[in-house]
Amino acid sequence: MTKRFLATAAFVLLSSTVTASATEIGAAFETACPFGDCAAGISLSYLGEFVIPTGHMENGVEFGGISGLDFDAATGHYIAISDDRSERAPARFYELDINVDASGLKGVSIVKQVTLKDKNGEPFAARTVDPESIRLGKDGIYWGSEGDGKALLPPFIRVAAPDGSFIREFKLPQGFAPTADKSTGIRDNLAFEDLAVAPSGDVFVGVEAALYQDGPNPSLTAGSLSRIIRYDAATGEPKAQYVYPVSPIPQAATKADGGNDNGMSEMLALDDHRLLAIERSYAQGFGNTIKIMMMDLTDATDVSAIASLAKNDQRVVPARKSQVLDVRAIGLVPDNIEAMSLGKAKDGGDVLILGSDNNFSAAQKTQFYAFKVLRRPQQ
């Protein structure tokens, strides 16, 4: 059977208008009317970069692997999850103090470290978990593990107490668990990267690239169909699934025989139907390309009853998307950006914070970018 997609609206990208070099504090850019909807307009100004070098030790534990970030209004601090698979130290999240105001991003300091616990109340054993995302929910800390396709470990979303102890787990929909023959389920290292909590309390969880049954990974000429699960946070039960069309790989490798990729590495809910998404690409010899997209799920088809997007004859409307920011195009040199949060600056202003996963590599760094939110979508 042939798959049918209404894809035209999903790939209309509106370029940002840059008023100055983004390396200057206060340089602003805006996307006035994403999807032609001026109520969805967003405007940001650059507040700077702060780097924590690879190898930094905190209480005897190497800091790094930051793959998720969220703001805690109660403390004025941020929680950040490390994707260490309990190999350097037990799986953990951090509390961070990000010192930023209208004059710029001045520093990031580590307040404390919290060990995540398994269902038995014990720290996770090595390679039994791959933490990739974290958000504050109404009843605890929501966090996700990408799973392990090679070891056939399913991905999961769990709720933890502030001390890292297990509270409950969300239901994994059919078709997401890895399979030995790779006929269905997550691809290894391309699973639950994305987690967002809407003002209503609904939880969105996205895979980085297509499940095996839904089609191929992105290439230089074609994109990939990622699924987004919408959960009822109170019950942990799935409510719907949507298609997010990941773009083709934007840059060929410049290194001979080098690899390249593209995928959705984080989501952030702006309201109950509009989200920001990071598309994170890497090309050997070139580096990272980081694009922030806005998506709108208003008219997106619920595909939870469609077993395979690649073998489907139903009409499917994916999430509409529009480009908000190309980080490299505005003069910055991004690392492996996998974390994104809205928060408050020290002077009370709204800010957008991005963070990178350094992969605990000496060739990379834990990098934070801050942007002042001048305007955001209105309901």
pLDDT digits (tens, 9 = 90+) for 110-152: 999 999 999 999 999 999 999 999 999 999 999 999 999 999 9
pLDDT digits (tens, 9 = 90+) for 217-255: 999 999 999 999 999 999 999 999 999 999 999 999 999
**What does the DSSP 8-state code read for residue 123?**
B
The model's confidence at residue 23, banded by pLDDT at 50, 70 and 90, is confident
pLDDT digits (tens, 9 = 90+) for 278-303: 999 999 999 999 999 999 999 999 99
The model's confidence at residue 10, banded by pLDDT at 50, 70 and 90, is very low
* DSSP character string of 254-296: -STT--EEEEEEEEEESSSSEEEEEEEEEETTTEEEEEEEEEE
The whole-chain average pLDDT of the chain stands at 94
A 10 A CB-CB count for 378 gives 11
| The pLDDT of residue 22 | 55
pLDDT digits (tens, 9 = 90+) for 254-283: 999 999 999 999 999 999 999 999 999 999
Give yes or no for residue 179 having a pLDDT over 90.
yes
| The pLDDT of residue 3 | 37
C-alpha dist (Å) from residue 224 to 3, 15, 32: 13, 22, 27
Contact 252, 283 (CB under 8 A): yes
Give yes or no for residue 19 having a pLDDT over 70.
no
Domains and CATH numbers, the chain: 49-372 (2.115.10)
The model's confidence at residue 204, banded by pLDDT at 50, 70 and 90, is very high
The average pLDDT across 339-362 equals 98
The C-alpha angle 354, 355, 359, rounded to 5 degrees, equals: 155
Give yes or no for residue 332 having a pLDDT over 50.
yes
* Rounded-to-integer distance, Cα 125 and Cα 86, Å: 6
